[in-house]
Chain A
């Protein structure tokens, strides 16, 4: 063409025009809303937002509040164990499912079914199951084991794992399906080649299949971690943060201070800290993942 290379900005015009509404939404709702929250976290807003600056007072109070610190610890314990367990469980289930078993469809449906339930329903079901008066503990006692004790939700040291049990039950089906889809995408030839070379099955999985499943793992990772950080409804339905502060979570702190305590400033400071924590993890990862590609 005579005019040389067209301007980068005007390439794919139709696609770019079509994307404008989405770009605007993202700018206003996500970035605008986030900015507004951060700005107001430096004010002493109570029930309604007010621009009365107090500097870092809200943050100082936040980090000297025992409940916030406990919430962070809880999230760390819950997050780490949830992450590891749902990967292990999801992968194991998928690998078992991949053994050309009978009634695979039925099993797959059963495993995935809990995912169709909301966290509130999941929470209530597990609250009943773990209730010592009429849940699992009572059933086993009725069978004859009188001293059987299983009441994690009433034990401050175990309550967080009671919540995790429900989350695992709900979420591992999805991880399984993702992994299974990945496994089905692996070429049969690779298995044959590994078999001819005499590599044991577990080694094939660990050193050949799993590295090949990298994109699936990343999808699963994003889904699980976002689920972990925003965990709120499950806790509310199951324990409402109790016993004591044993299952308090940062998201619940934000909600409670925003609506119950009528202290927006404090809630915004807490949610800004949550955002910061996510950014610290996401930004380096995104730079590694997407920044590197340009050089290829």
Chain B
């Protein structure tokens, strides 16, 4: 009896590994770690596990630029993961050129991505020399001003409806000890804020001329001077903000300790995790309530070239899966971002997302800076704004001069 059960146990243990061998482990690297982000990425993992494969989650807790550094060194160092998240655009240019990333054109054609991905510019961001190298999964736009109703009630002023009112209300908030504007002390947040001011406060052509055509004369011109003036206002309003990461800053808005924050629509996820209601607990102003346009940045998954056939098959399954309608809805509702398919129903989305969807449908869009600038230029701009926001002695004029120099040398 005992012998039999031992044999049975042995037999079971011998069968078990064989049974799991069908499920291919695929390591997926990303930097989605805040509450809303983690909930969203879990939707991907759930859907992928349901196909019989196994999603090995390799989340990097830290800013995206650090995560990208680690991913790149793993790929160039010959230890590639199964899939990784990047912002689509020029970040992966060199990796593609070196032939390190998998060509997804076959999958894209089989799944008809060209017909479903909306706006089409997203797929352009994944295309190099006519071949498609990434799967866009969402659209993120930077151009949002998030406002805390509680903070404005406490200060006894109405909730602003545009940037100018927001600036004008600042002294009333300050008097009550409320920080008028929360800005995390990380350079990507500071330069992101500036880019939002640039796309919202002056005509959109200026944004495209400066970042798209790298026109240094426009960058030194009077319109951009106005943007720098507004950035100086932002610097004054955020004086005394000691938080580092963006979600800590969003948390100040959620708890009413800060009036508002300029941050991309990913902040939406934090408001939902905190069970705040759009419209009554907080407001969102796309395009700062001035020029209502949205950027079409976002996240995409890239797949390194792998030798392992099983894993390559799993990669193809994952690539196709990420764009399936059900997965898109589940993921984007949690993430607070807009789906990349125009043909799915998002009626369950809240106020703010509906505003975004409307702008998307009306095609009021600007390209994202990641699609226009190399990481090199982006870091130079980040360094400039890190300095500008920390040191009030740098005048807007000086900063603009240095900004124009960076644009002049950009490629």
Interface set of A (CB-CB < 8 Å, partner B): 46-48, 61, 65-67, 131-133, 151, 154, 156, 240-246, 255-257, 259-263, 266
Contact = CB atoms under 8 A, between A and B. Distances in A.
Given A47-B72, A66-B402, A245-B387, A257 B379 contact: yes
Given A47-B95, A262-B72, A243 B186 contact: no
Interface of B: 65-66, 68-70, 72-73, 76, 91, 93-95, 97-98, 185-186, 242, 244, 374-376, 378-380, 383, 386-391, 402, 409
B390 A262 contact: no
Q: Chain A at the B interface: mostly helix, strand, loop or mixed?
A: loop
B95 A242 contact: no
B75 to A, nearest CB: 10
Contacts, number: 78
Contacts of A47: 72, 76, 93-95, 98
Contacts of B389: 244
A242 B386 contact: yes
Nearest to A70: B387
Given A47-B72, A47-B95, A243-B185, A263 B390 contact: no
A88 to B, nearest CB: 31
Contact of B387 (A46, A66, A131, A262): A66
A261 B242 contact: no
14 contacts: A47-B94, A47-B95, A48-B94, A48-B97, A156-B390, A243-B185, A244-B389, A255-B69, A259-B73, A260-B65, A260-B375, A260-B379, A261-B379, A262-B72
B383 A67 contact: yes
Across the A-B interface, give the 4 residue pairs with the lowest CB-CB distance, nearest first: A244-B390, A259-B69, A47-B94, A261-B379
B234 to A, nearest CB: 15
A243 B374 contact: no
A74 to B, nearest CB: 13
Contacts of B383: 65-67, 245
A245 B393 CA distance: 14
A66 B383 CA distance: 9
A260 B242 contact: no
B375 A261 contact: yes
B379 A243 contact: no
B73 A261 contact: no
Contacts of A156: 390-391
Given A48-B76, A48-B98, A262-B94, 8 more contacts: A46-B374, A47-B95, A61-B409, A66-B402, A242-B390, A245-B387, A259-B70, A261-B376
- Of B68, B69, B93, chain A has the most CB atoms within 10 Å of the CB of B69
Contacts of A65: 380, 383
Contacts of A262: 72, 91, 94, 374-376
Contacts of A242: 185-186, 386, 390
A47 B65 CA distance: 14
A132 B76 CA distance: 41
Given A154-B242, A259-B69, A261-B379, A243 B94 contact: no
- Of B66, B383, B390, B391, chain A has the most CB atoms within 10 Å of the CB of B383
A47 B69 CA distance: 10
Given A244-B387, A260-B69, A132 B242 contact: yes
A130 to B, nearest CB: 11
Contacts of B66: 260
Contacts of B387: 66-67, 244-245
Contacts of A266: 376
